[in-house]
Structure 1
Amino acid sequence: MSRFPVLMKSREAAYPEFFHYLDLLHFQAKEDNSDALVQNLKVLNTFKPLLTPKEGAQLLFALEIFVRACREAGLTYFILEASLMGVIRHHGLIPWDDDIDIVMRASEWPKIRNVLGNIEGFELFTPGDSQWKFYMKDATSFPDKPFKFPNLDIFFFGEDDTHIWALTKGLKHDLVYKKSDIFPLNWRPFEHLMVPVPCNLDLVVHKAHDKNVCITPEYIHKTNERFILGGKVAVDCKLLHGVYPFVFVAKSSRPGYQEERLKIGPREIHTRLVPAVCGG
C-alpha cells in the first residue's frame, strides 16, 4: 500500500487554478453581483470536482493495481465511455466525474474473477446482471448497496471474427464496433499511468461525444443520483480551459504520431507523443 500516500498527496494538490479562481469569485461576489460574475460562479459550481482527495486517490490506486494485475495475468481490457473522453481531453479523470469505465472480454470472466477477486486490500463485486466493480477494501460503504465507492466499473464484450458488442447492461451507449476499429489497442496517458484504448479514437469517441462540449455526468455514483437529459448541463469547454487540464493536439514530425500537450490556461503540464492512427 506504499503508493497510496503518494497518490493522496498528489490529489490534495489537484486543480489549484480551479479552487483559486472559485475563491476569487466568491470574494468578488461580496461587492459585485453582475450577471457575468454570477454566471461564472454558476459554471464553476456546476463543474466542480466530485471526488475528495482521498476518494480520488482510492480510485486511482484501484486503477493502478487493476492495470498491474491485468498485465501480469495477460488479461485484455480497454478504457471506454466517459473515461475514454477523459483520456483524450484531460489525459486522466474528467475532473467532474467520479468513476472509471473499463471493458473486458466476456470469455475471460472466470480468469478475471480469479485474478481481481484475490488481491489483498481490494474487493471485486460480481453481479450476474450488471457491471462488475473493483475497489479498495477500505473504500466507503453505501447503506443500501452491496459494493463500495469509489470503484472501477467493469463491463464485458462478446466477439466474433469481425465485430465486438456489449454484453453488460449499463453501458451508456451501444457498443458495436468492427474489431479493426478497436484492435490493436493503443496506449495513452491517464493520470500517472498508461492505459489501453481503441485504436480508432475518432470513430469510437465521436460516435457518442463531442470533445469540445463539457457535460455534467448522467449518473453520480457518489450519491446515486441519475439525471435525465434535461437535468444535465453542457457548456463550451473553453469556459473551463483556465481552471482544469485540457489536451491540445499538435502535429509531430514523426509519421503516424501526434503531440498532445496538457495545459491549464497558459501553464503546460507535459507533452506526450502518441499514435494518431490505428497501428501507430
Structure 2
Amino acid sequence: MDVKVMLFCMSIFFIISSIWFFLFHPCGHIQVPSPYFVLQDEGPNFNKLPDLRSVVHTYTERPKDDSNDTSLFDAKLSTDQYNSLENILNQFERMMVQLKLQNQWFLGVSSLLGSLQHHDVVPWSDGIDIFAPDHFRREILYALSVFAYNLTLFPYGLQDRLYLNEMSLDQSSPFVEINYYAIHIPNFGISIGGEYRFFKLDDVFPLVYRPFGRHWRPAPRKPINFLKYYLPIVEQTCTFHSFRSQYMPPIVVNCEELMNKFPFVNRCPIPQSEIVGEYLEQCDEYLVYPNGESAHKIRTVLDSNEVKSLLYTARYTSFECPK
C-alpha cells in the first residue's frame, strides 16, 4: 500500500475514533444518580460516600525503614514509603480532575486486587499501578510537568513512573506506575508492554469508586469480571509481583497460606431490610482478621454475581455474613 494512502487511512481512523470517544464513550453522558459513580470533573464526594479516613487498617506491621530486607510475602512498604505513594496518587488525582479526566483513569491490576482483597495496597506489594487513557497521554504528561511540580516523571518503555522529587530514583524508591489503555470499537483494549487484552466496555465503564486505603479511587464498574479477563484463575491464588524488579517472575501461593498473617476482605450481600430503590446493587465488604473478627465494614457498589464470587478474596470459616 502506498505510504500516503496508508497515512490518509490512519488519519481517517483517528478522526472517527476521536469522535466516537467524545460522543459515545460510555462514561461521557451517563446519568449519575449515585455518589459511587465517577464524574469527569469532580473527585469523590466525601459527604455522600462512607468516610474512610477513620477506617481501621491495623492489619500489619510495616517495616520501620526502607531497607526492604523482608521475605517475599511480608509487608514491603515502610510507613514513609506508603505515605509517599498516597501523596503521589493524591496529586495525580487532583490533576486529572482539573483536566476533566477523572472518569478515565482507574486502579491497575495489582492495586485493584489490593482493593478487593484488603481495601488497600496488597500488603506484600511494593508499589501502586494505575491505568490512564493513551488518547490523552501527551496532555497528562504536560499537566504533570505544570501542576505536579514536586513529582518526577520517569519514562519506562510504554509506561511512566511517578516519584516524589525528594526521593532518589533507585530500587528502594516507591513509585506509581502508569499504564496506558486504548479503546477499540466495539471492545476495550489495554496495552501492556505492547500486548493487547480485550474486555467488554460495560465491565469497565462507567467507573465507580472503590476503597483503597484512606481514599476512594476510580475502579472498573465490574472489577471481578475485569480481573478474570486479565487473571483467568479457577481457584484463589495470591501472587507476589515486584514493581521494582520487573524481570523477576511472579510467585504464586494459595491465599489460605497467608490467612493467618493478613486479614482479607469478605464480601456479603446487604441486609434485605436495607435494600433501597436504586438500580445499583451494593455489597457490604468486611476486612476480617484470622480470628473471624472484622476490622471494618465498607459498603460498595458490586453486582450480585460478583458479591457471591469466591475469586480475589479468602473467606474465613469463622466469619459469617449478617442476615
Alignment equivalent of 1:177, drawn from 199, 202, 226? 199
Richer in helix (by share): 1
1:200 paired with 2:200, answer no
Gaps of 5+ in 2: 1-54, 64-69, 305-323
- Name the CA distance, whole Å, in 2 between partners of 1:257 and 1:215: 28
1:259 paired with 2:259, answer no
Residue number in structure 1 paired with 2:177: 153
Contact 2:237 2:252 in 1 (8 A): no
Residue number in structure 2 paired with 1:244: 262
Deviation digits for residues 201-253 of structure 1 (CA, Å, limit 9, x no counterpart): 22211230558322222x341xx363336xx2413x23323332311111113
State TM-score, norm by structure 2.
0.64
- Name the CA distance, whole Å, in 1 between partners of 2:89 and 2:295: 22
Q: 1:46 to 1:133 in 2, by over 3 A?
A: closer
Q: Tell me the CA shift for residue 263 of structure 1.
A: 2.3
The percentage of counterpart residues that share the same residue type is: 21
State TM-score, norm by structure 1.
0.72
- Name the CA distance, whole Å, in 1 between partners of 2:263 and 2:163: 25
1:68 paired with 2:94, answer yes
Residue number in structure 1 paired with 2:240: 216
Deviation digits for residues 109-137 of structure 1 (CA, Å, limit 9, x no counterpart): 1220122222132122235x320111211
Residue number in structure 2 paired with 1:226: 247
- Name the CA distance, whole Å, in 2 between partners of 1:87 and 1:98: 15
Q: Tell me the CA shift for residue 185 of structure 1.
A: 0.8
Contact 1:186 1:197 in 2 (8 A): yes
Q: Counterpart amino acid of 1:58?
A: S
Gaps of 5+ in 1: 1-9, 20-43
- Name the CA distance, whole Å, in 2 between partners of 1:194 and 1:77: 13
Alignment equivalent of 2:134, drawn from 100, 106, 119? 106
Q: Counterpart amino acid of 1:55?
A: Q
1:89 paired with 2:114, answer no
Deviation digits for residues 9-48 of structure 1 (CA, Å, limit 9, x no counterpart): x9x97614x99xxxxxxxxxxxxxxxxxxxxxxxx94311
Richer in strand (by share): 1
Q: Tell me the CA shift for residue 260 of structure 1.
A: 0.4
Q: Tell me the CA shift for residue 149 of structure 1.
A: 2.4
Q: Tell me the CA shift for residue 179 of structure 1.
A: 1.4
Residue number in structure 1 paired with 2:190: 166
SS in 1 for 2:123: coil
Q: 1:170 to 1:95 in 2, by over 3 A?
A: farther
- The CA RMSD measured in Å over matched residues stands at 2.9
- Name the CA distance, whole Å, in 1 between partners of 2:159 and 2:177: 6
SS in 2 for 1:141: coil
Q: Tell me the CA shift for residue 258 of structure 1.
A: 0.9
SS in 2 for 1:56: helix
